[in-house]
Amino acid sequence: MSLSTIIHAGLTRPSRVLHGLVLMGGGARTAYQVGVLQALGAMLELGATPPPFPFQVLVGTSAGALNVAYLAGAATNGVRAFGELAHFWSRLRSSDVYELDVPRWVRFSRVLAAMSLWRNSRRDGAILDNMPLVDTLHHAVSLEGIEASLKSRAIEAVAVTASSYTSGVHWTFCHTARDGRQSPWNRPGRRAEFQPLTIEHLMASSAIPFLFPSTPLWVDGRREFFGDGSMRQISPLSPAMHLGAHKILVVGVGQPQRSGLVNGSNAVPSRGPNLGGIAGHAMASVFHDTLQADVEQAQRVTKTLQQLPREIASVLPYRSVEVLSIQPTQSLDALAQKYAHELPHSVRRALGGLGALKGGGGALASYLLFEPGFVQALIALGEQDAYARKEELLSFLMTVTA
């Protein structure tokens, strides 16, 4: 996080304290976020009338962007939006997200499996076809609801991130009720634009490299091709701060521990990793965000500001921002290994033919397992982790004077 981001945040003086929600990327693993938010909604919803939606600034990356867009479209329903998101995920299947057409015989030969996948990648620029996701998002995400949420001030801003294959720039696409009066930011390797969000923005943000094809978007008056927003994401908290958030809850889906998953133990392996282990590690590298470093830096700056004498702090052009981070307390790779059999038959045939589901194959499967068993296990883990930090979460959501 750069000092200029902190200064810009300090120059933003909204009329009320803004709570930000940042949801990181990770394919099917982002069902964990649904569990955290569903538990949070239950903590807040005590009476017959649902409390207002607790976050005013929503920022999402990759599949986290899909969650953010869904919530933005339902924010006028208050905290019940979290339960609605959970209901959406409970009905989701891999066939609603992607499809893979491969012959049945590819399971019997790694060479034939590789040739089949190579043919798909040459034709489409990716192994999987994510066109089913377009239809799913059109039915699930209410773009009109996003406009209503902004107009009613249920939320103040919503933003999604994507990475340009064309220029290498990491873009944040922001939408507010007053886009024409907003000033986009421009930092080395990072830029922002204010415009209404579309399904194409969501497809671009969630286009996992190698697995899903890129999506074209217009920026700076030209057409560029975009992929997953997790790539080249060096400052995940920056958009929420630029958009004026005073307090930021960030929910990631990173691994607490990955060692030993290749051979199922913590012992030093006698052989190198197999294809499943390498593929899982490569995918984890794509989604390896700088979240923890960004959180620690924001907390360090905040602590420093709070220790300054009041008369000095009052004249400085920046303010402190409170950040609370929640990530899984258990390995999602290991959890996915238990449900890898739920993958669509075509995907199991192709990846199984390559040997990519053996050993550490749970890591790769965890990004593609949009199936009930894994999704519900993730939601349950998210709820468990949220309730373990109930007092911390409720204290965080208390509005204080900025």
Positions marked active-site = 62, 228
What angle do helix axes 131-140 and 63-74 make, rounded to 10 degrees?
20
Q: Which of 284, 298, 280 is nearest to 255 (CA)?
A: 284
Contacts of 217 (CB under 8 A, 6+ apart): 162, 173, 200, 201, 204, 223, 224, 226
- Cα–Cα distance measured from residue 392 to residue 386, given in angstroms and rounded to the nearest whole number: 9
Identify any residues that bridge with 307 across adjacent strands, giving them in sequence order. none
220: left (phi over 0), alpha (psi -120 to 50) or beta: left
- Burial of residue 74 (CB within 10 Å: 0-12, 13-18, 19+) is buried
Q: Is residue 278 within a helix (H) or strand (E), and if so which, with residue range? A: helix 275-286
SS3 category, 43 = helix
Q: Which of 155, 194, 154, 156 is nearest to 174 (CA)?
A: 194
Q: Which of 347, 294, 292 is nearest to 28 (CA)?
A: 347
